[in-house]
Structure 1
């Protein structure tokens, strides 16, 4: 394991020397290296060496903030291909053939489910049937559960939408589908 070096600076060398002299005179034996580190850091105003290290680490983090990674760009081609499955409506008129398009379509259907409430199976079915033009709401419900966007009790009587932040493509598709529906 490599050693981390910590720069040490004393604003007042005279005060440092006096403080060290006082601490050394109060001891009967010679201090070990950790005790000496604690004495040095106490002499410049820290509680102990650990406090000094933590303060320096925080100072370094503030001086060199970690840049938050930019969100990945939206793949508009993928959004466009999946939007065709909605045919300009808020209903999924056909089940997409590709898995990545199915997942995007499921995010749109997820957005129609009410947030933060337990729903009986009939209520979930009603929402899914309203936004399903190809007649297989059971497939959609099952895939929402498999994808982790919907949870259900063991007896399958109650369902609940799982709150997650949709990926960028899903957010764009949700915006596109819901804005087209509002226009009509």
Structure 2
């Protein structure tokens, strides 16, 4: 027998706990009930749950921004034109970042060659500069070495990458 997952979202866990307690014959105290709810959700206790959820911003995706950024790519997923707006540039750079190798030191010529393979237009210098300015790559002071910075893409960037590289 398979179990279906049913997502549960609560605006106020305290009200939920009070309502749940009202239906029990011998209910635990309100604080004990909050602790039980938190542990059932995978947290150590109620304070742990509050701290973790407060530090996690909502991961809402700006679909319009993703849609606009996707227009800058061709059918093959290559960057067709450089966006003028900084926000769009950042989203497009995340796509380039995702297609460049991790933990591999590259020379200026090596990264330029790879960028040219990912873009329909030939302006690797602008892309390299953008990758460094947005903190997606580090560059040696003399510009001889480039290294991808490993960090999680933003929710919008993840959505754009997924949209461009869906497998049919």
Q: Relative to structure 1, is the Cα distance of residues 98 and 62 closer, same or farther in structure 2, using a 3 angstrom cutoff?
A: same
User: Normalising to structure 2: TM-score of the pair?
Assistant: 0.67
Q: 2:143 aligns with which of 156, 159, 164?
A: 156
Q: Which has the larger radius of gyration?
A: 1
User: Per-residue deviation at 1:117?
Assistant: 1.4
> Number of aligned pairs?
121
How far the C-alpha of 1:95 sits from its partner, in A, is 0.8
1:169 is matched with: 156
Question: Which sits farther off after the overlay, 88-97 or 143-152?
Answer: 88-97
Unaligned runs of 5+ in 2: 1-43
Deviation at 1:70, TM superposition (A): 5.0
- Listed as ranges, the gaps of 5+ residues in structure 1 are 1-60
1:73 corresponds in structure 2 to: 60
Q: Measure, in 2, the Cα distance between the counterparts of 1:87 and 1:128.
A: 15
Match of 1:133 among 120, 128, 142: 120
Question: 1-side partners of 2:83 and 2:127: how far apart?
Answer: 11
Give 3-state SS (helix, strand or coil) of 1:119's partner: coil
Determine which of 77, 87, 94 is the counterpart of 1:90: 77
Partner of residue 62, structure 1: 45
Please report the TM-score for the alignment, with normalisation by the length of structure 1: 0.61
Asked if structure 2 preserves the Cα contact closer than 8 Å seen for 1:109 and 1:128, the reply is yes
Partner of 2:102: 115
CA 1:73 to 1:153, structure 2 compared with 1: closer, same or farther past 3 Å? Answer: same
Q: Contact conserved, 1:121 with 1:157, CA < 8 A, in 2?
A: yes
Question: Does the 8 Å CA contact 1:112/1:127 hold for their aligned counterparts?
Answer: no
* 1:46-88 alpha-carbon deviations (Å, 9 max, x no partner): xxxxxxxxxxxxxxx8343315235321011110110010032
Instruction: From the two aligned structures, give the one with the greater helix fraction.
Output: 1
